[in-house]
Amino acid sequence: MEIHIPTPLRAYTDKQETVSVEGATVAEGLASLVAAHPAMQQHLFTTEGKLRSFVNVYLNDDDVRYLPAKEDSPVASTDELTIIPSIAGGTLCRCCSC
């Protein structure tokens, strides 16, 4: 499968926009990505090995978090994974809602 890498993380994939990996599931694909590019580990996963909360992973057009099998969802060689960090903000104060 192919994994599309967002701009900030291409520094850790030798500037590649798309990385081809092997794997039968989403989790295996991500593991292959990290095996080939170890620096991706800290950017994608917490120290507990969970996907960081702001890292979205899409299998084709579906958010992996909402798939029944989540990261264990099966993938085909023609599938595409997209890693996309979230983007949000605003003037609202996080501490006191002022």
Partner 1 sequence: MSLTLSQQLYDELRAHGEETYPHECCGILLGKSDAENLAVHQLLRAGNTRTDSAHNRYNIAPQELIAAQREGRKSGLDIVGFYHSHPDHPAQWSPTDFAEAHWLGCAYIITAIEKGHAQITNSFLLTGTTEEDKAFANQPITIE
- Cβ distance to partner 1 smaller for residue 76 or 87: 87
DSSP annotation string for 16-36? -SEEE---SBHHHHHHHHHHH
Among positions 16, 56, 67, 70, the unique one binding partner 1 when judged by CB under 8 A? 56
Give the single-character DSSP code of 90: -
* CB 31, CB 61: distance < 8 Å: no
State which H helix or E strand residue 62 sits in: strand 62-63
- Per-residue binder mask for partner 1 (CB under 8 A), 67-86, x = binder: ---------------x-xxx
Least separation in angstroms between CB 51 and partner 1:
13
Q: Closest by alpha carbon to 57, among 70, 68, 69, 42?
A: 70
Q: Does 8 bind partner 1 (CB under 8 A)?
A: yes
Q: Does 49 bind partner 1 (CB under 8 A)?
A: no
The residues of the shown chain that bind partner 1, judged by CB under 8 A, are 4, 6-8, 11, 17, 42-43, 52, 54-56, 58, 61, 63, 82, 84-95
